Amino acid sequence: MSTTTIILNYTYLISIVLFIIGLKKLSHPDTAKNGNLIAASGMGLAILASLIYPIEGANNNYVWIIIAMIIGGGIGFVVAKKVKMTAMPEMVSLFNGLGGASTMLISFVEFYNYPIAESPLNGQMITTVFALFVGSISFTGSMVAYGKLQGFLRDSLVLPFPQFINMALLILVVGLSVFTLIQPELNFNYVIILLALSLIYGVTFVTPIGGGDMPVVISLLNSFTGIGAALAGLIYGNQVMIFGGILVGAAGIILTILMCNAMNRSIFNVVIGGFSGSGKSSSGDGREEIVKEAMHNDLAIQLKYSQKVIVVPGYGLAVAQAQHTCHELESLLEGEGVDVKYAIHPVAGRMPGHMNVLLAEADVPYPKLLELDDANKEFPSTDIVLVVGANDVVNPAAKEDQGSPIYGMPILDVEQAKNVIVLKRSMNPGYAGIQNPLFFGEKTKMLFGDAKSSIQKLIEEVNNA
């Protein structure tokens, strides 16, 4: 082994250690920022080492590499600076998709350069086939997820019998992959067909998924991107790509399983795209739908003289950018002796940890954030629950309506509190597209308007009360 190879391997080892340390620090908000910087330093070191000590015998075109890095890095820097917190899930989906596209293109090029006269039945080509499939799913699936998060694909794409289509496509992909590999020589036409089927499967895989299930899909697609990176690393024998991809893939799979458990879903249903509703929802049938509206001054007095208040943040809080104002109200109430906490549903928002990130941005202390089970134990002794822009995660239809798209999903049982105040712009349904019976409950009052403006008025009224 040459000295250059030894130096390169040790540099890669340091990069991998930095990845692991960074990932560990990402597990807590207090250390997440440093963890991100440490992991990024590891990636920077790996890229630098790869440029200084390139693959022996390869045609290393530094001009194209540097141009690509400048363009890609410039786009990433500008987007990261300008993106709003409300659009963070969309950005994550796009980045996932681009990572999948990279794996897909690497695999396609490997097939294109493979000697046609040789049999493709070997470990390298088996890995390449798998990488092509996973990368394609991650790419088109993430693009569909982006469209759903933006809203323009939410209702425009409807597939008949989505589970049947997904299973049929999966069988076709597996069958064609095996058939391609056992041929005496590589037929590139089969590879093109395999690529097309894989891209279509990515679309049909994500299309049926909606409602509060989107964070699970983003987490799963993130793991696919990691697996794709690991497979690309196996193709090129690059240790950093292998270990980095394994870390991302494993973390994504673990998070997906945890979120599925939190939503009472199975991982199998995720794979076949089984998140659609089981039938026609009957939410609100037979109910006397009377909405009671709250007044700022009355609510301010109630808040000021409460013993315990719990805030349930949702996507509406992100849209209104009300996290800082919410923290200001929390601090004001605590000064009056009120115990204020936050109830965080595992899939609140549009991506895993969306609400945690928003509240951390506003310097809300992490111990104040209650997970679902802990929050549900607190609600019966809570004087007021402020539901700020949340909808599906507090919808009793998940427990009562077997035809609801969210039936079976554990929710925050806010209706058990003494009083429930829902801050919304209007009575429009949430992301799942169904009405929420909570809004018409006996203990529920609606505070209509922009969440940030409404909370700011509450702060003024509390100060004057």
Report the distance separating Cα 116 and Cα 112, nearest Å. Answer: 9
Residue 106, CA distances (Å) to 111, 129, 228, 345, 407 in order: 9, 11, 10, 38, 41
CA angle 246, 252, 257 (to 5 degrees): 125
Q: Say if CB 126 and CB 114 are below 8 A apart.
A: no
Report the distance separating Cα 455 and Cα 237, nearest Å. Answer: 55
Q: Quick count: other Cβ atoms within 10 Å of Cβ 9?
A: 13
Kindly name the residue from 213, 339, 373, 392 that is annotated as catalytic: 392
Residue 424, CA distances (Å) to 31, 51, 85, 347, 406 in order: 33, 53, 19, 19, 20
Residue 297, CA distances (Å) to 294, 302, 455, 457 in order: 9, 9, 12, 9
Is 413 considered catalytic here? no
Catalytic residues: 392
